[in-house]
């Protein structure tokens, strides 16, 4: 594994508590998360999303907001910390290189 891939892996692993906290803020409980996941992964997902979007826009948008927030967080951290010379020593310290 090269240093760049190791940095992405480290960023994702370090941010797991942040992802859980963000999910707690957006979903408030696990049932709400699983309901949003069920809504987005149903067999007729497009029809279900159209119907749900008219009824409750926030509940329909929770999962994409959560996923985009998690991805944006990792990308911003990569842009902030990825340009330094700390990437290779950190990956070696964890044992990924």
Per-residue pLDDT of the chain (97 residues; tens, 9 = 90+): 677 778 888 889 999 999 999 999 999 999 999 999 988 888 787 888 888 888 888 888 999 999 999 999 999 888 887 765 555 555 566 665 5
Domain count, the chain: 1
- What is the reported pLDDT for 72? 94
For residue 35 the two structure tokens come to 């309901």
CA-to-CA distance for 77 and 94, rounded, in angstroms? 18
- What is the reported pLDDT for 43? 77
Which residue blocks in 1-97 are alpha helix, DSSP H?
Answer: 3-14, 16-27, 30-41, 45-55, 57-81, 87-94
Q: Angle at which helices 30-41 and 57-81 pack, to 10 degrees? A: 100
Find the domain containing 28 and state its range.
Answer: 3-94
């Amino acid at each position: 594994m090269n240093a760049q891939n190791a940095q992405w892996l480290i960023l994702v692993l370090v941010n797991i508590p942040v992802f859980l906290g963000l999910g707690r803020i957006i979903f408030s409980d696990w049932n709400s998360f699983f309901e949003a996941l069920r809504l987005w992964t149903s067999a007729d997902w497009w029809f279900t999303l159209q119907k749900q979007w008219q009824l409750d826009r926030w509940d329909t948008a929770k999962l994409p907001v959560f996923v985009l927030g998690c991805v944006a967080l990792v990308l911003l951290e990569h842009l902030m910390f990825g340009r330094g010379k700390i990437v290779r020593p950190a990956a070696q310290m964890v044992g990924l290189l």
